[in-house]
Structure 1
Amino acid sequence: MSEQLYLIALGGNLPSDAGAPEATLRAALSQFPDMGASVCAASRMYRTPCFPAGAGPDYVNAAAALSFDGKPADLLQLLHELEGRFGRTRVQRWGQRTLDLDLLAAGDLILPDEATYAAWHGLPLERQMRDAPDRLILPHPRLHERAFVLVPLNDVASGWVHPVTGQSVATMLSALPKDAVAEVVPLD
């Protein structure tokens, strides 16, 4: 397989051995080259409110564009391995964490197919909080709804076009409620 451009989201709200969440995200980004992925671009770091509200400390979020010579499932495995290096444990869906690395997109691929994507895209919130897919779904079914994803992603891939909706990152971001976007505050 030839090099593919991948988009990922980074986040955390608990300290790791690398330090506070911002230091953890920076340390994780620095490890990608040793794992076979090149960081083409990385966003600024942003502070965002914990979701659901009151569930823990605020998050630090970022996004990156990676070049990787492998399949999406291979990169997902690498992301999980990297999370583990920074003490991530998967105890509760949407729970607090030292490091969260989400694979958002692999170029214009739709995985595993449009029907499965559509089913997860339309999942009600209560099911989203409880259920996790048993396979990789790309693009990430919720990326277009989340300011904490789109604001940093706009730093690195504003022109990337969602292969299902046909909208760019910049367009999806402009469609979000202004108060949601205002909650995503740059750290620098």
Structure 2
Amino acid sequence: MERAYIGLGSNLAEPAEQLRQALAALQQLPRSRLAAVSSFYASDSLLPGQPRYTNAVAALDTDLQPLQLLDALQAIELDQGRERHERWGPRTLDLDILLFGDRPIDEPRLRVPHYQMHLRAFVLYPLAEIAADLQLPDGCHLSELLATCPFDGLERLQP
């Protein structure tokens, strides 16, 4: 099995409940085991005028191949009412493969490491909570990314 890190986010239809439902669905994925889940965090939307997001990161040990996992994650999103109208629009659920083992992946449908994770506090801080000593495929340590990405605007939510 390989360890994949999945970013979870929602800003519609009771976001914390959307994340809980998604985590339950991740536990049901074939040939996979949910290994760890960060706390939930609230963050402002990247675009003005949208509701705040609730975010988390999950560690998933899986025998699925990266594109199989992507398909499974997109099916979970659809089951929870995700509609893909615009790239940065509000959403019931967003599931992103942040890392997949130590493999860089550059496919038309999937880029891993996630191409903007190094800029996003709402990804890095939850990830650090469950994988503090993580080294990315390019050799960079998660602690180096955290040093350049302030916690500003991020709020750790109570369980």
Q: CA RMSD in A?
A: 1.2
Match of 2:21 among 9, 19, 27: 27
User: Any runs of at least 4 consecutive aligned residues in structure 1 with deviations exceeding 3 A, and if so which?
Assistant: none
> What runs of 5+ residues in structure 2 fail to find an aligned partner?
none
Q: Distance in 2 between matches of 1:186 and 1:33?
A: 23
The match for 1:58 among 52, 55, 58 is 52
Give the aligned partner of residue 153 of structure 2: 183
Separation of aligned partners in 2, 1:160 and 1:91 = 34
Structure 1 unaligned spans of 5+ = 113-132
Contact 1:42 1:62 in 2 (8 A): yes
CA–CA separation in structure 2 for the residues paired with 1:185 and 1:168: 23
Q: TM-score, normalised by structure 2?
A: 0.94
Structure in which a larger fraction of residues adopt strand: 2
The answer for the alignment partner of 2:65 in structure 1 is 71
Corresponding residue of 1:108: 102
Question: Aligned residue for 2:77?
Answer: 83
Structure (1 or 2) with the greater helix fraction? 1
Question: Deviation digits for residues 123-158 of structure 1, max 9, x if unmatched?
Answer: xxxxxxxxxx83211111111111111011111112
How many residue pairs get matched?
Answer: 157
Sequence identity percentage: 38
1:153 matched to which residue of 2? Answer: 127
TM-score scaled by length of structure 1: 0.80
Aligned to 1:169: 142
| Equivalent-residue separation in structure 2 for 1:106 and 1:160 (angstroms) | 12
Query: Which protein shows a greater Rg?
Result: 1
